[in-house]
Amino acid sequence: MSGICEGRVVVVTGAGRGLGRAHALAFAAEGARVVVNDLGVGLDGSPGADSPAAQVVAEIRATGGEAIAHGGDIATTDGARSLIATALEAYGRLDTLVNNAGFLRDRMLVNLDEDDWDAVLRVHLTGHFLPLRHAAAHWRAETKAGRTPQARVVNTSSGAGLSGSVGQGNYSAAKAGIVGLTLVAAAEFARYGVQVNAIAPAARTRMTERAFAETMAAPDAGFDAMAPENVSPLVIWLGSAASAGVTGRVFEAEGGRITVMEGWRPGPSADKGARWTPAEAGETARRLLVEAEVPRPVYGA
């Protein structure tokens, strides 16, 4: 039986473990040929002993699927360029890019140094931008050659990017930036046949196991709500041709729940038609806040 991604070529970054691994295996199970990217670093981004990408490729091939490993650093221009080139050289096409790679360096803001700020923004935000930019350049060239693709990009944000998370100022800023990047890319790349969406997943991975240790319930005998494999079905659909017409959206995915996030939109407003005094502006702002919806609390507050 043909899967929903039969014949598609899919690139997944950070696919050696956790969510990325689950996505890569799920895409392969649905008929895709998969480029498995993983640098093989530790939780904090330091170099690991070896890359797990080859292990995921072996798993896919053991079940009759097609996959190839890529161990480059996708937060560099050369690494991102070679990632896209690997897909094109191995399989002759590129249909879907799933940006997933990342790590944590958690600190309260008063203890967060510049290196930890830069490192997290580099891998999450730059590590989304560069593969996206090189993939889109390929799809633009295809469109100009008269071969408009049914291309898909799935970016990975987080609840921390949507609501903030105490002790994760760098991570929250990067994940919020990914939402902005997603919205702009969806608007700019539509003319090239590219749809761009983002997910904000919640699952048990190396990055979350310590944060969730005290709050996660033990897996139910029939359903482990925090398994990363629960997030993958939505990613597979967004990465397939079946998601036609869906772009510029952000979805939360956790366990058996999928939520369309509605983001920033105008709420209560007042227009004086002239310049406010500070006192008037403050009085008006307080009145509008009473009418406005209360924002979701910051995680950990």
- How high is the pLDDT of residue 213? 47
Task: Kindly report the pTM of this predicted structure.
Answer: 0.91
4 part of a folded domain: no
- Of these residues, 157, 171, 172, 240, which one is catalytic? 171
C-alpha–C-alpha distance, residues 63 and 31, integer Å: 11
Q: Which residue type is seen at 222?
A: G
Tokens 């899919």 belong to which residue?
A: 10
**Taking the CB of residue 49, how many other CB atoms lie within 10 A of it?**
6
281 part of a folded domain: no
- How high is the pLDDT of residue 41? 60
109 part of a folded domain: yes
What is the token pair recorded at 76? 């560099």
Structural domain boundaries, residue 206: 9-261
Q: Catalytic residue at 272? A: no
DSSP assignment of 46-91? PBPSS-SHHHHHHHHHHTT-EEEEE---TTSHHHHHHHHHHHHHHH
- How high is the pLDDT of residue 189? 98
- How high is the pLDDT of residue 273? 97
Q: Catalytic residue at 158? A: yes
283 part of a folded domain: no
- Of these residues, 51, 157, 158, 172, which one is catalytic? 158
288 part of a folded domain: no
- Of these residues, 175, 232, 240, 243, which one is catalytic? 175
Tell me if 214 sits within 8 A of 162, measured CB to CB.
no
C-alpha–C-alpha distance, residues 218 and 244, integer Å: 37
DSSP state of 110: G
Residue 238 is part of a domain; what is its CATH number? 3.40.50.720
290 part of a folded domain: no
285 part of a folded domain: no
- How high is the pLDDT of residue 111? 97
Q: Catalytic residue at 299? A: no
- For the chain, residues with pLDDT lower than 70 are 1-2, 41-50, 205-221
Query: How many domains, in total, are found in the chain?
Result: 1
Tell me if 37 sits within 8 A of 74, measured CB to CB.
yes
138 part of a folded domain: yes
C-alpha–C-alpha distance, residues 119 and 126, integer Å: 10
What is the token pair recorded at 23? 């996505």
- How high is the pLDDT of residue 223? 80
